[in-house]
């Protein structure tokens, strides 16, 4: 990791403070390209303008309006569920930062379309938790493979064993793994 840190530079994590919006973005971005997700977010923002995405503004949209922004039927249902759970208080985004990592994950995964990985990304990129290790993340697994000279993508047990040395800064080390993957191929650390 020392070489990765040297090549990437100082740790700089920009937190996404709008907790509702980051969950909306996470749902929209699932299983599509970054460009497609960005286009859908822009169309959704235009649809609700001049307001911003909140549980209330999205709850007012119907299925056809979500579809007109480019969302699949399933993701439209997920955004309705997110809005409903926030409005009802089942998910309390204002107080969620006071909870343990495990309790945050438990609260978020009750939202349709939000799984363990999405909840971990929320912990890192919205709440700024520094000891979260998203072992299932493909970018993390790929970079662990490269950094540690493994023949194939590591399984959960291998990832957890390697990441044990990163504690209590697993989020920071994960960030460096992602950034190593972002480096131009000639400067990336590979075996």
Q: Identify the CATH number of the domain in which residue 116 sits.
A: 1.10.340.30
Residue-by-residue pLDDT tens, the chain, 191 positions: 888 999 999 999 999 999 999 999 999 998 888 889 999 999 999 999 999 999 999 999 999 999 999 999 999 999 999 999 999 999 999 999 999 999 999 999 999 999 999 999 999 999 999 999 999 999 999 999 999 999 999 999 999 999 999 999 999 999 999 998 887 776 666 65
Kindly report the pTM of this predicted structure: 0.87
CA distance 94 to 152: 41
Cβ contacts of 150-158, under 8 Å, gap ≥ 24: none
Residues of the domain holding 46: 19-125
Do residues 23 and 8 share a domain? Answer: no
Do residues 54 and 104 share a domain? Answer: yes
Do residues 115 and 160 share a domain? Answer: no
Q: Please, where are the H alpha helices in the chain?
A: 2-8, 19-29, 34-48, 55-59, 63-68, 73-88, 101-108, 116-125, 138-147, 156-163, 170-182
Do residues 64 and 157 share a domain? Answer: no
User: Residues 136, 119: contact at Cβ < 8 Å?
Assistant: no
Do residues 28 and 121 share a domain? Answer: yes
* Tokens 């999405």 found at: 118
Do residues 105 and 27 share a domain? Answer: yes
Question: Is residue 188 one of the residues assigned to a domain?
Answer: no
Do residues 86 and 28 share a domain? Answer: yes
pLDDT at 190: 62
């Amino acid at each position: 990791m020392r070489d990765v840190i040297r090549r990437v530079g100082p740790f700089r994590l920009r937190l996404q403070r709008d907790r509702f919006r980051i969950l909306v973005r996470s749902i929209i971005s699932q299983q599509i390209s970054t460009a497609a997700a960005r286009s859908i977010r822009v169309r959704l923002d235009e649809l609700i303008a001049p307001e911003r995405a909140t549980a209330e503004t999205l709850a007012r949209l119907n299925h056809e309006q979500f579809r007109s922004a480019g969302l699949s039927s399933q993701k439209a249902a997920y955004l309705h569920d997110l809005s409903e759970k926030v409005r009802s208080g089942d998910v309390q985004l204002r107080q969620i930062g006071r909870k343990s990592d495990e309790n945050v994950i438990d609260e978020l995964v009750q939202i349709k379309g939000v799984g363990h990985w999405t909840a971990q990304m929320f912990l890192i990129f919205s709440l700024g938790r520094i000891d979260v290790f998203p072992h299932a993340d493909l970018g993390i697994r790929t970079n662990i493979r490269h950094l540690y000279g493994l023949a194939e993508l590591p399984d959960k047990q291998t990832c957890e064993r390697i990441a044990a040395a990163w504690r209590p800064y697993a989020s920071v080390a994960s960030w460096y793994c992602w950034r190593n993957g972002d480096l131009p191929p000639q400067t990336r650390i590979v075996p």
